[in-house]
Structure 1
């Protein structure tokens, strides 16, 4: 008997049909991958199978009553949503670096303890999963302190610990480094080998061996023809004129760090970091999950209070020398997964992009005429003009990221800090954005780009810094790739 039987499934959001007349059969023990461009309905299909979306048509799940596995479906969201101790989600970006406010959420260990008690799970299996995904070092951290990759690992550990009969994972590899992806694939193979049925929502190509079934969504319709899955390369439009203008540098050295140390209680996060970024450099910043990349970047963007306890010069000025955080931020364009988490949920697409002029979490000021002109140019350039008045949170995740990428470049800053900028983008969008970075780099902008995979990077990179356990293990110039 099939585990999942879908017949004539349709889902509409208002007047928009997201899924149209879909039929699908999933048998016990199979490993499926569902692919499609951003906005094609992949996440909606996963949530519908899990029972959380209103629909027409039939979705029937036949659990095996003789199986030792829980007769349940678990849907793992593309990112982890959590609350503080009072049940509130009202976090702000800088809070994760503020030691005085580090006791506002439970620790990872406590979160796992509560999950295990709720589902009466075996602690031995938990320890195996923690060891496999190299998660021991973050167990005493607060939920809002850890990186996007560490949040994804928490989701995956809980899901594999529960080991339901049907497991649906949306974007399983988001934020994971190369080593962690390989170990996750081993765990997913073991999951199906022990009787689980797996559905992955992903456009990644390095899938576990247990994936033996394929489906693709396009225009709300489902196809199981693997040869039909092709991304058409998107042609880069001419850059808006304002992005061709060279930055107005006031100093040749933008970042100078000497003997940088960051510690939380007994935990050393960064140790003895030496780093200099000159005008026009394009740096690649790499390191495994939890290696200290986000903390290092927070010292640059002015979000970390320990910047004042270190020898750091930004744009030629010593930190603590009288400059304000806004003096720093007006020279920087930033995108990161964490900034996306904490962004204003009530902001429209237009307001989200325009807030980049003021480094705010939403738009709270009137725009000048030239700013309005730049905003219109960029909305059209990113193909977001038609949805400019919609709430950012109502867009597919990939388009949300594109909107925030627009926020990053709208003021044509001296320094672009692109922390995993393509997280949540599909293959086509990733290629397009990296071409955009290459094109923007021609004006001489300085770039710090965080990315795990050499095949998903812009060609303009000139330097590389690699962190391991808070220390620098590589810091050098590299050969620029051919365009």
Structure 2
């Protein structure tokens, strides 16, 4: 690790016309590992990208970034690129967006050349090294599956293996535990502890103020509004101006009905012979480990997956995917498989309006009344100042709120959310819950998959637990909370180390 040093002196970073990082003074040398902590929008991802050389210091200021590698100094990151790796949630989204049938072992192997996938036939030694590292990261059962067919936790560990195969001197991991259940968190933390303990690779991990971190990561870098501080205060999002809740008349109907439904992906049942009924006005939480089938089940109830012959899915009493166009207007969705298909350059206004016509950041044929109603929603949710900004320029919490607004702008009867709290700090989680509670209080139906049941007691009416695609339990939320299945799901050996 001592052979690579990074020195920042009065460095600013601009993205477009916005200044994201201000007057940074930081030195990384010696053997210490660091956690970069701060709320959504603090600049954590930008700092990691600056340190690994993906971003340059602002040309509008006189700050300097200096790399010292094997005793040689340079202001250019070109020489250190082979020796650093960055792992971000956006990397997994990239593989999903391009829907490539590239097996996990090959993606790991491509890390030797820091390319998305291999451009040449790997040698036997390279192939064996990739598979051995995959086994070490607990990926033995999925090494031959494509990335799009593995769970969030498995994808994160695969990308970590892809970074580690090159034995980097610096490994930066953005949003360390985002999207992982407790078991996945423990597995990832254990893997990173083993990496740090070797002394060959310096770790930089980012997250929020309450971040489970590997024991070996003892250094702290705190960010607040793009500035380094000794200890950041919690940065809260702006106030909401929600209209008074008006409970609409709830029609006594069945919203979704699944009967003996199976969804097969890459030769295995991601949802296995599942029957489930969702009635109007119910709020369901879908729980389970990474890889348990939660996202696939949500894709099934929104019509993005087909059940195998022998199973039947109905929406609002109508059967058959051929009729999904008739009912799609009554469903709202916040999920990675929607967000990953929207271009980061699309403005927040276009993203919001696209929800009125089931578009992905584009829209057409909307009336002045529809546009006015969407803008009223943006104002009530404190988003009016964001409308003309590109979605990619927002913080993670802001972008997640825009995508939620897109999902509800057409006033759907059913709202489906996949991990709505993942990657949000405490203040943005509270804001998301407030928005969902206000929406559900109107009598509409809600289904969400989550690893954070501690936030759900005042929101959910029912809960469902999946294990390897099979239904373990489905009942009213208070009863599920007290069930042995719930206790088994969230029991974890050892204790995570929380940093306040």
- State the TM-score, normalized to the length of structure 2: 0.83
Runs of 5+ consecutive residues of structure 1 not aligned to the other structure: 97-103
Deviations 1:179-235 (A, max 9, x none): 011111111111111112111121142211122111222232112x2xx23325557
**1:181 equivalent among 185, 190, 196:** 185
In the aligned structure 1, how far is the partner of 2:157 from the partner of 2:270? 19
Number of residue pairs matched by the alignment? 456
In the aligned structure 2, how far is the partner of 1:246 from the partner of 1:324? 29
Tell me the secondary structure at the aligned position of residue 304 of structure 1.
coil
8 A contact 1:269–1:292 mirrored in 2 = yes
**1:201 equivalent among 194, 206, 219:** 206
Q: 1:178 to 1:325 in 2, by over 3 A?
A: same
User: What residue number does 1:304 align with?
Assistant: 305
**1:222 equivalent among 209, 212, 228:** 228
How far is 1:386 from its partner? 1.4
User: What residue number does 2:13 align with?
Assistant: 11
How far is 1:312 from its partner? 1.7
User: What residue number does 1:30 align with?
Assistant: 32
User: What residue number does 1:100 align with?
Assistant: none
Q: 1:118 to 1:360 in 2, by over 3 A?
A: closer
User: What residue number does 2:90 align with?
Assistant: 79
In the aligned structure 1, how far is the partner of 2:250 from the partner of 2:418? 22
The worse-fitting range, judged by mean Cα deviation, of 275-284 and 390-399 is 390-399
In the aligned structure 1, how far is the partner of 2:236 from the partner of 2:97? 39
Runs of 5+ consecutive residues of structure 2 not aligned to the other structure: 72-79, 116-122, 482-500
User: What residue number does 1:139 align with?
Assistant: 143
In the aligned structure 1, how far is the partner of 2:456 from the partner of 2:91? 25
How far is 1:301 from its partner? 0.7
Pairing of 1:398-413 with structure 2 (within 5 A): 398-413=397-412
How far is 1:418 from its partner? 0.9
**1:54 equivalent among 53, 56, 70:** 56
How far is 1:470 from its partner? 1.2
Please say if 1:111 is aligned against 2:110: no
In the aligned structure 2, how far is the partner of 1:400 from the partner of 1:425? 11
Q: 1:363 to 1:123 in 2, by over 3 A?
A: closer
In the aligned structure 1, how far is the partner of 2:369 from the partner of 2:81? 59
How far is 1:282 from its partner? 1.1
Q: 1:266 to 1:233 in 2, by over 3 A?
A: closer
In the aligned structure 2, how far is the partner of 1:239 from the partner of 1:70? 48
In the aligned structure 1, how far is the partner of 2:44 from the partner of 2:111? 27
Q: 1:64 to 1:431 in 2, by over 3 A?
A: farther
Deviations 1:378-426 (A, max 9, x none): 2123332112112212323332221111111212211110101123322
8 A contact 1:235–1:432 mirrored in 2 = no
User: What residue number does 1:253 align with?
Assistant: 254
8 A contact 1:4–1:62 mirrored in 2 = yes
Please say if 1:278 is aligned against 2:279: yes
Please say if 1:477 is aligned against 2:476: yes
Question: What root-mean-square deviation, in Å, do the aligned CA atoms of Structure 1 and Structure 2 show?
Answer: 2.9
Deviations 1:439-464 (A, max 9, x none): 22211111111111233446211211
Q: 1:146 to 1:160 in 2, by over 3 A?
A: same
Deviations 1:7-61 (A, max 9, x none): 1111123443222211012233212111223222221111111112121522233
How far is 1:83 from its partner? 6.9
Pairing of 1:358-369 with structure 2 (within 5 A): 358-369=357-368
Tell me the secondary structure at the aligned position of residue 138 of structure 1.
coil
- State the TM-score, normalized to the length of structure 1: 0.85
In the aligned structure 2, how far is the partner of 1:470 from the partner of 1:43? 34
The worse-fitting range, judged by mean Cα deviation, of 440-449 and 309-318 is 309-318
